[in-house]
Structure 1
Amino acid sequence: MAEEGKLDRPNGSRPLRQKLRVQQLDLLVRQLDRPPALPGALTRDVKAGPPGSEAPRQPLQAGRSDSSIARALLEMVRRRHPERRIQGLAQALEVLDFENVTPVLLCVKVMEIFNAWPGALDRRGFWSHCLAVATAAEMAARRLPGTAEPLVAFACGLLHDVGKVTLDACLPKSYGLVLGAVAGKTGNIADAEKDILGVDHALVGRRLAQHWRLARRIEEVIWLHHHPGEAVEPAQPRTALIRLVQLADTLAREQRIGFSGNYTFAQNSAAMGRAAGLSAEHLSAVRSGLRDRLRHRSYLLQLALTSVQPAKSPPGRVRAKAPRPAESAALEADAASLQGRFIRELRDFAGRVGPATSLPQLCWEIARTSSAVFAAARRGRPTCAFCFSEDDASVFVAAYEPGKGKTFRLAACRPARAAPPDRSAPAGPLLRVMLNPPDAWTDLIDPDGYLCLPLVFEGRWLGGILIPAETPAQDNLRDSLCEFMAFALAAAAGRHTADRLAEQLARASEHLARTREAMAQNKALEAVGEMAAGAAHELNNPLAVISGRAQMIARGTRSAKQREAAELIVRKVEEISRIASELMEFARPRPPQRAVVAAADLLKCLAEPFPVEAQPKAGAPRVDIRIEPGCPPLWVDAGQIGEVLVELVRNASQAAGGRVNVRAVAGAQARAEHVLVQVMDDGPGMDEATLASAFTPFFSLRPAGRGRGLGLARAKRAVEVNGGRIWIESQPGSGTTVFLELPQPHAEG
């Protein structure tokens, strides 16, 4: 059932006026229906097996309880086997192979939810990527016995990025800005989500998983699959599943299947496969067989989707749910005593809530139970329950009225609000002092016609129940109800706080892991540089003596042969001296002299002719320079960054072994404080091993004596001392693109 929830604009029709707060996420995800067929597939272990085993009963049972699944099953059989006359679901399952049926039905149910919610995201490309990740995770799981059931791995892969489509469905205009920020196919969409929305899709996906009551391990894969492997506790059983999905995601992105919005690679698939325990042979089998298996799955999915009818309710509209017989009985049981109704409703309440119940849902259950206990529904007005956020800066309210959809609101609290009443008090004056603005809930209730029953636990005011003022209630039952609900609210608030702390810890661990890796790399570079600089310093004195004596010999000899030999010695000494100077500069780069530089002035160094002495037959590289409209100036040392750009073009020319075309583009980056410079070539590209070692000092594929392997390492240090960062994307046969993210003047104050 879709539910109504207001954030700070209706139904995402306008971009957000401010970033989302964590407290708003529960309201956001509650707008999306919970798929009725998901619990059986995802909330308990799923064992795959051949037709005739216990496993095929799941799609059979799901088809009997869900008409869209039944239509999908029958449509797949009709389209694939038009010659067969199928009489029922059981016969259909005998024709279809279970290994493919259940994953396809899972895709159908998930896509069916989002089909009714259009947005800015390329849904076809998005689901292609998710299906590829799911298929790769399933294939890898079949080669890693004991890691995860293949169908669970498939479900984790399919849903790993569900937070993206959730944000797109609920906030289409704002998410359109996020997609625009990564339109240049650089960076990570999660960074753009945090910059524009205040949260990323992993956190939103986790909240949706909690709302859908998915298995804990699936929830944590959705939440943590972007974290580096070392940031996830290795002793936890979920770690292997997280690494499996990370590997599958990398494989899908390396093969450029569908749209993910993430264009950065923390590791290549070979390294991730080793970390996941997958042999090189098995990894190669998954990589080479992925597209064929995906093509078969996509065909079955297309057949199944032809039977799915789009939802009739437009996005954002509440679809009413008919009252359950138990609710009607509870409200109309005039003959039952108030005491009996109280005990029965509390028992039912305890059965409906649990550890996975969110605070908004708990408030709605409290309102529902209170309405039944006090027979408040007879007054024809809703019963409400509210609770304060962890920081007391905002307050949730949920309204219950039989026969109507769930309604939620989020409002700000005043910094200094009144103390809670002892038992009950008129709600109007209390809410006007508590809420900001004071009339935040007047579209739900008339506060002056309600009483507030405070929910206080161990001296802390957690929330309250709002009932119509004329509702009769015995004092002892009212007090008992408030004590019971205050305890339930305190337990949920404690769990909610623990979840928030876990999320903060996960973010801190991710940041720490990345920082630690960068510090380790910098420390290693400094150690190598210091060693090289020490060696260069020690060489300078004997080189000076050798050069001086050789020059004396050249001047004093009458033999042309001896003079030529002495002059050769001088030239080689000068060459060694240049190498020593390079090592010294690499170890101790000079401090940058930064100034405001226009992008055109920075890139004009590439327009000058390049020397071709290294490969005279290849010819000079052809460089095309483009400055995008509106590109801001940069705050860098133009000399240092110019040397970096020249080094990149020289590297491209040397790697190509022939004439190479280079394109340099400068434009505004998604993060407003930086400018992105891209240097693209059509050369041979790099394999995974070369790409992984590209910035390693003294690494070179050129023959000994033809290169010292310091060019890219020195370029990285120069970019970093200028406050920027540099990374490379490349594939064999597809050329190389080097990205330089450089600061704008205001970024440094």
Structure 2
Amino acid sequence: MARMDANAVARQAEMILGRLSSLPTLPQVAAGILPYLVGGRVSTAAITEIIESDPALTARILSMAARQGVEYSAARPSVAEAVVKLGASAVRDAAMSVKVFQVFDAETDADARRILPRKQLAIFSLATACCSRQIAEILLPEEQRQSAFTAGLLSQIGILALDEVMPKSLEKIIGEARDRQESLAVVERRHLGLDHILLGKRLAESWSLPREIVTGIWLQNADLESLQPALPGIALSRIVRLATAIVRQSGLGHNGDFDSPPAILEAAAGLPIAAPQIEQIRSELHDKVSRRAQAVGLEMKNAATVYLETLSDAAARLAGDNTSLESRNRQALTQASQLEFIGAFVRGITPEASAVEVAAHLAELWQQRFQTGTVCVVMQRDPADPFAELISFDGPGRSRSVLLKVPAEGGLIPAALRKQFAVVELAEAAPWIAEQLDFDLGEARMVPLLAGSGAIGAVIFQNRIPVDPQQQATALSAATAVVAHVLAGRMEQRRHSDAAEQFADLLGRVNHARARQAQSQSISAIAEVAAGAAHELNTPLTIISGRAQLLHEVETDDNKRHMLKQIQDRAGEISDIVTDLMQFAKPTPPSPQSATVQSLIDEAAKIAAEKRGVDKLEIEAVGIAELGSAFVDPKQTAEAIARILLNAVESYKGESGPVRIEAGAEVEGRAVVHIRDSGCGMDAETLKKVFQPFFSAKPAGRKRGMGLSHAQRLLTVNDAGIRIASEAGKGTTVTIELPRK
């Protein structure tokens, strides 16, 4: 098979994640809950507390309750009520079916060596849940507060899913986020085309979790001020956003974000909560999380060993039940009929099930009902889509999802099957499908899935027993007539969901553009004021300086001469400030031309060294030569970069570096350069004002504070961009985007 591009990899990941029935939990949690499940008597209160504190178990129980149609007394789903209404046996089976991380590595603590230890992620999720509950106690009615806890707990399930499906890739992505000091979501979108927040939303939808919980997970990082306040889950999204900021600032666990944590008061925007109330929440949070972590077992030592011992006992107790269950399943399969097949198919589909999940369900039922070999369902989201999705099933636990490249000529479905039902040989109708698979379909057959005006996909299967071709065609025609329309509806639902997500993304981009426009207007306003002030100051300064010079030349008294000299010097300093103001207010119009990024960096380093009074700065450049050329004014751009380098060097006490300059991934046709230092860094308040003229966080005797503001001004007039990320005590990263043309 040909190597897939990034878009294909992202869709492959999305398909695989859609097949997850549950998430793994930690051995600490499993070891804590198993004794209550296998002791012969279920302790509902103890089990509920553990399940409520673990994302994997909470999602599993709420999903099971939704599938079984559990009705809640308060119309708001809760784990506690779901545990009671599902019953001890169902809860036991659900909890024991959840996979456990790192079970057979009991002698070592491999988790602690990971960049993002799973235990730290679990603590972060639990802390977010506890903090969301505290905020909800101030802002929400009693009946809504547990939903806030659940939304906070499940806010990171997308990371758990990626860790289960592609752990090595996730570890590399987290490593890049750490190295670049970026948020995990930014790096995920760069490599996968989507992030764990969107994946978490889609998982929650596929598991039929409550709508307000789904929205709370999805929109926690969105621009909530632009959305309708009455949208279900918006309040939870605001609460989870604030809770996440508080937990990050408090250092409870880790969620894979390595950028500067958001300011708490900014995260609280739109919520009627006061700063003293937030501080009270922070002061109580650590104790609340510690008590919960103790109860759920996160602090348990030798958890893997304890879990394995308990699991051995549980296996012995459940062996008899499993044998009996397998016997009943085999009997049910042999007695299935055509009507039962359609009924089972319809009953097994939830309102939130995606087209991929419906197809997987169809493949499994098809094999059971018609006693076939491997069954594949292939479908195409849109006739113009160059890829088709194939879901195969060849036995319990052996399901897979594959992306197929559709031939440019002929399309997915053969012409003979696009309007009329028939059973045909796959080798004759669509041999290209078998050629792209890494498993053998043998003498497979193919039938179309006809809905509306034509075929939306097909079912491919292997006959294992002799059948009458005419009888088989009649039976399959009736079955596919129902499932094809269901699949068509789910595919249309997916298109609507994609459109909604694209709209939300577009809304965020519009607001970002507005913010940039407002910033540009603010700079222009400051420039006008600066130009006016400079013009008004120049004339009196010239007079003062000139008169002081004349008096100095004719004065004979040494004391007066000294004072006149001071006047001259101070007037000169003010004149320099006026010159800075004029350069900031009205920079020379740029003369853009093609210049290599390497030459710009070299010239900037030379200028910065001269201004610093040293022969050479301690600079390490990585990958700059590969960036090629930019279309800017070389002199102005080099001057702007030099000011950034000087700012980086001055962040060290008595040193000239080191400063690392490295190439970034190209963004929308623009060359990207990262300038990093490991100096004193900046806190959140300083970072907000970093581009303001004459602002400086340095003490008395500091410089004028025009370095970064002037750098931004020069880059802006050259259609270049600049942004800064910094953390006090850890250093600063300045990112520059230079236009190619």
For 2:151, what is the secondary structure of its paired residue? helix
- Which of the numbers 493, 496, 513 marks the counterpart of 2:494? 496
What displacement does 1:269 show?
A: 0.6
Q: 1:103 maps to which residue?
A: 52
Question: Aligned partners of 1:695 and 1:253: how far apart in 2?
Answer: 26
Q: Which amino acid aligns with 1:165?
A: L
State how far apart, in whole Å, the 2-side matches of 1:270 and 1:321 are.
58
Deviations 1:467-518 (A, max 9, x none): 5474553776654443322221221111010111122222222333223222
User: Matched residue of 1:113: which SS?
Assistant: coil
CA distances 1:352-375 after superposition (whole Å, capped 9, x unpaired): 213211112211333455557xx5
Change (3 A) 1:186 1:106: closer
Amino acid at match of 2:420: D
- Look up the match of 1:256: 251
SS in 2 for 1:389: coil
Equivalent runs, 1:409-558 vs 2, <5 Å: 409-416=402-409, 417=411, 418-419=414-415, 420=418, 422-429=420-427, 431-432=429-430, 435=432, 438-441=434-437, 443=439, 445-446=441-442, 448-452=443-447, 454-466=448-460, 468=463, 470=468, 472-473=470-471, 478-555=476-553
> Matches of 2:641 and 2:324 in 1, distance apart?
63
Structure 2 distance, partners of 1:8, 1:570, is 76
Which of 139, 158, 164 in structure 2 is aligned with 1:163?
158
Q: Find the aligned partners of 1:660 and 1:321 in 2 and give their Cα distance.
A: 77
Equivalent position of 2:101 in the other structure: 115
How far apart are residue 422 of structure 1 and its match?
1.5
Please state how far the C-alpha of 1:133 moved relative to its aligned partner: 2.2
Deviation, 1:320, is 13
Aligned to 1:664: 658
CA distance in 2, matches of 1:151, 1:135: 10
Over 3 Å counting, the alpha-carbon distance change for 1:438 and 1:192 in structure 2 is same
AA at the equivalent of 1:192: V
Instruction: Give 1:45-84 correspondences, 5 Å limit.
Output: 70-71=33-34, 73=36
1:269 is aligned, of 264, 269, 289, to 264
Q: Could you report, residue by residue, the CA deviation over 1:193-227 in whole angstroms, capped at 9, with x for unpaired residues?
A: 22223332222222322333322232233333232
Change (3 A) 1:321 1:541: farther
**Paired amino acid for 1:115:** F
Q: Between 184-193 and 398-407, report the one with greater CA deviation.
A: 398-407
| Aligned partner of residue 456 in structure 1, secondary structure | strand
TM-score relative to the length of structure 2: 0.75
Q: Which amino acid aligns with 2:644?
A: V
Note the alpha carbon deviations across 1:415-445, whole angstroms, 9 max, x for none: 2223225120413256526x4x552358363
Question: Is 1:740 equivalent to 2:728 in the alignment?
Answer: no
CA change 1:604–1:255 in 2 (3 A) is farther
Structure 2 match to 1:228:
223
Question: How do residues 32-431 of structure 1 correspond to structure 2 at under 5 angstroms?
Answer: 32-34=20-22, 70-71=33-34, 73=36, 88-90=41-43, 93=45, 101-104=50-53, 106=55, 113=99, 115=101, 121-146=116-141, 149-184=144-179, 186-230=181-225, 232-265=227-260, 267-300=262-295, 301-302=297-298, 308-309=307-308, 325=328, 328-329=331-332, 331-332=334-335, 341-368=337-364, 370=366, 376-377=370-371, 380-390=372-382, 391-400=384-393, 405-416=398-409, 417=411, 418-419=414-415, 420=418, 422-429=420-427, 431=429
Tell me how far apart the structure 1 counterparts of residues 524 and 332 of structure 2 sit (CA, whole Å): 76
Q: d(CA) in 1 for partners of 2:656 and 2:284? A: 34
Amino acid at match of 1:260: N
CA contact (8 A) 1:346 1:369 kept: no
Q: Is the 8 A contact 2:712 2:722 kept in 1?
A: yes
Partner of 2:658, secondary structure, is strand
1:28 counterpart = 2:23: no
Q: Take 1:610 and 1:36, find their aligned partners in 2: how far apart are those partners?
A: 55
**1:549-606 Cα deviation digits (max 9, x unpaired):** 5545555667777766665554444333222221122223444886524978855777
Give 1:329's aligned amino acid.
Answer: A
Distance 1:585 1:147 in 2: 59
Structure 2 residue matching 1:627: 3-state secondary structure:
strand
Query: Does the Cα contact within 8 Å between 2:115 and 2:175 map onto a contact in 1?
Result: no
Which position in structure 1 is the counterpart of 2:69? none
Q: Which residue of 1 aligns with 2:644?
A: 644
* Inter-partner Cα distance in structure 2 for 1:409 and 1:323: 29
For the aligned residues, what is the CA RMSD? 4.4
Distance (whole Å) between structure 1 residues aligned to residue 24 and residue 546 of structure 2: 88
Cα separation, partners in 2 of 1:598 and 1:609, compared to 1, 3 Å? closer
Please state whether the residue corresponding to 2:510 is helix, strand or coil: helix
The amino acid of 1:410's aligned partner reads L
Q: Quote how far apart the aligned CAs of 1:163 are.
A: 1.8
Is the CA contact (8 Å cut-off) linking 2:378 and 2:389 kept in structure 1? yes
Q: Verify: 1:729 aligned to 2:691, yes or no.
A: no
Match of 2:692 among 696, 701, 704: 696
Give the whole-Å Cα distance in 1 for the aligned partners of 2:556 and 2:713: 49
Percent identity over paired residues: 23
Please report how far the alpha carbon of residue 247 of structure 1 lies from its aligned counterpart in structure 2 after TM superposition.
Answer: 1.5
Q: Report how many residues are paired.
A: 651
Alpha-carbon displacement from aligned partner over 1:51-109 (angstroms, at most 9, x marks no partner):
xxxxxxxxxxxxxxx9977525589xxxxxxxxxx99444x83xx697x5453355666
Tell me what 2:676 maps to.
678
Contact 1:398 1:407 in 2 (8 A): yes
Shift of 1:32: 3.4
Aligned residue for 2:430, secondary structure, equals helix
Distance 2:569 2:638 in 1: 31
Q: Which amino acid aligns with 1:194?
A: R
* Cα pair 1:605 1:646 within 8 Å, conserved: no
Equivalent position SS for 1:678: strand
Q: Distance in 1 between matches of 2:586 and 2:254?
A: 42
Q: For 1:179-198, what per-residue CA distance to the aligned partner results, in whole angstroms no more than 9, with x for missing partners?
A: 33223251222222222233
Distance apart, 1:268 and its partner CA: 0.5
**Residue 61 of structure 1: aligned partner:** none
Seen in structure 2, the aligned counterparts of structure 1 residues 525 and 25 have a Cα distance that, compared at 3 Å, is same
Contact 1:661 1:681 survives alignment (8 Å)? no
Instruction: Check conservation: 2:188, 2:196, Cα contact below 8 A.
Output: yes
CA distance in 1, matches of 2:397, 2:286: 47
Q: 1:270 Cα deviation (Å)?
A: 1.7
C-alpha deviation, 1:690, in angstroms: 3.9
Q: Which amino acid aligns with 2:332?
A: A
* Unpaired stretches in structure 1, ≥5 consecutive residues: 1-6, 10-15, 38-65, 76-85, 313-318, 334-340, 612-619, 654-658
Higher helix share: 2
Q: Is the 8 A contact 2:649 2:655 kept in 1?
A: no
Alignment CA distance shift 1:121-1:414 (3 Å) = farther
Q: Hey, what's the Cα distance between the residues in 2 that align with 1:473 and 1:492?
A: 29
Kept after mapping to 2: 8 A contact 1:230/1:513: no
Superposition deviation, residue 351 in structure 1: 2.0
Query: SS of the counterpart of 2:735?
Result: strand
CA distance in 2, matches of 1:280, 1:147: 22
Separation (CA, whole Å) in 2 of partners of 1:695 and 1:321:
72
